[in-house]
Structure 1
């Protein structure tokens, strides 16, 4: 019986390690997509002459980890009207050129997908951490507690 409990504990520990590794990889992928979106927004701000978009993109690129969610929310709020106006006035005054609009839309979709994957993996890791065996044996003590990344839906 003791052998079975030990084997089960090892299996749970391995599963917990893999879960945290997947959550960390998803965090890195999300971060990369957020940087790409902010860079695309900064690039789009030039032809648009939009100083607010340029400022929001720069703040998002330079944000500390603790301020990242707020900076990304600000960028999302600034991007929404730009993309909406772009659809109404394709390439016209106040509208973004089609290539810039496509880059921004693609980057926003990728951020939304990466955020969803990241939050799903964080939920799974936190669920494993709450198991009684994991808490009693302190199997999760070597891993930092993963955090959700909660921002407004970046899709326009």
Structure 2
């Protein structure tokens, strides 16, 4: 009779471990989605600040790049943000208050991108674990991706 209790205890322990693993995968993917949403919001704020800077300094090429970054689809976001960053690096002679606002927003973008990439790294590491792959515990979540853009050197 004691072996029945031992088998039930082992099965319950294994089931608890797999439930914990599945919940961890869910939490990490939810954090990755939230980090991407935060990064996207900061990128929109930076593009809006770039539009304000372009209007204040009367820079039509920066205005065009900022508008493209504002309207970019998620698949084209990295390319548009890299183009905006290249245009931001060429800005000189802009009003100091608008430029300072853009610097603050760019710092937040850099921090949000770092947080997002850290969470993606953690989620991808969990997805590579053998038990996660064997039992396909991450199958309902899309694979998170790093967001790689150049950080503007405005400071």
Fold in common (TM above 0.5): yes
* Partners of 2:62 and 2:90 in 1: CA distance: 10
Map 1:4-153 onto structure 2 (within 5 A).
4-82=13-91, 85=92, 95-153=93-151
Q: Distance in 2 between matches of 1:154 and 1:28?
A: 20
What is the total number of aligned residue pairs between the two structures? 145
**Secondary structure class of the residue paired with 2:22:** helix
Provide, for residues 99-132 of structure 1, a one-character-per-residue CA deviation record: whole Å limited to 9, x for no partner. 1011110111011000000000000001111111
Q: TM-score, normalised by structure 2?
A: 0.90
How has the CA–CA distance of structure 1 residues 119 and 149 changed in structure 2, closer, same or farther, with 3 Å as cutoff? same
Instruction: Let me know the Cα RMSD of the aligned residues.
Output: 0.9
Residues 111 and 154 of structure 1 are in contact (CA less than 8 Å); yes or no, is this contact kept in structure 2? no
C-alpha separation in 1, matches of 2:38 and 2:64: 24
Maintained 8 Å contact 1:112/1:155: no
Name stretches of at least 5 consecutive residues in structure 2 with no aligned partner: 1-9
Q: How far 1:27 sits from its partner (Å)?
A: 0.2
Shift of 1:57: 0.1
Paired with 2:81 and 2:61, the residues of 1 have a C-alpha distance of: 14
C-alpha change, 1:72 and 1:57, in structure 2 (3 Å) is: same
- Contact (CA 8 Å) 1:109, 1:155: kept in 2 or not? no
Runs of 4+ in 1 over 4 A off after TM superposition: none
- Post-superposition shift, 1:155? 3.9
- Residue-by-residue CA offset, 1:42-80 (whole Å, 9 max, x unaligned): 011012110110001001011111111000000001111
**Which of 3, 8, 12 lines up with 2:12 in the alignment?**
3
